[in-house]
Amino acid sequence: MIDRIKHLLREVEELKAANAGELEALRIKYLSKKGEIAQLMNDFRDVASEQKREVGQYLNQLKEKAQQRISELKEGFAHVSAGHDDIDLTRTAYPVALGTRHPLSIVKKEICDIFGRLGFSIAEGPEIEDDWHVFSSLNFAEDHPARDMQDTFFIRHNPDILLRTHTSSVQTRVMEKQQPPIRIICPGRVYRHEAISYRAHCFFHQVEALYVDREVSFADLKQALLFFAKEMFGQETKIRLRPSYFPFTEPSAEMDISCNLCGGKGCPFCKHTGWVEILGCGMVDPNVLDNCGIDSSVYSGYALGMGIERITNLKYQVKDLRMFSENDVRFLKQFEAAH
- Helices assigned H by DSSP within the chain: 2-13, 20-31, 36-43, 52-85, 103-116, 131-134, 168-177, 218-233, 286-291, 308-316, 329-332
Q: Where are the domains of the chain?
A: 2-85, 103-335
* 7 vs 235, more confident: 235
- Pick from 86-95, 115-124, 189-198 the range whose average pLDDT is largest: 115-124
The pLDDT, as a whole number, for residue 29 is 84
The pLDDT, as a whole number, for residue 148 is 65
What pLDDT, in 10s, does the model give residues 232-258? 998 989 999 999 999 999 999 999 999
The pLDDT, as a whole number, for residue 80 is 54
The pLDDT, as a whole number, for residue 299 is 96
Which amino acid is residue 51, in one-letter code? Q
Please check whether residue 129 is in contact with residue 153, taking contact to mean a CB–CB distance below 8 angstroms. no
Which amino acid is residue 165, in one-letter code? T
pLDDT bracket for residue 339 (50, 70, 90) = low
| 224 φ, ψ (degrees, to nearest 5) | -65, -40
The pLDDT, as a whole number, for residue 99 is 74
The pLDDT, as a whole number, for residue 326 is 83
Q: Which residues contact 191 (CB under 8 A, 6 or more apart)?
A: 127, 152, 153, 163, 164, 165, 202, 203
CATH superfamily, domain 103-335, is: Bira Bifunctional Protein; Domain 2 (3.30.930.10)
DSSP string, 177-242: H-PSPEEEEEEEEEE-----BTTB-SEEEEEEEEEEETT--HHHHHHHHHHHHHHHH-TT--EEEE
What pLDDT, in 10s, does the model give residues 38-88? 888 888 777 787 787 887 787 788 888 888 888 888 887 665 544 455 667
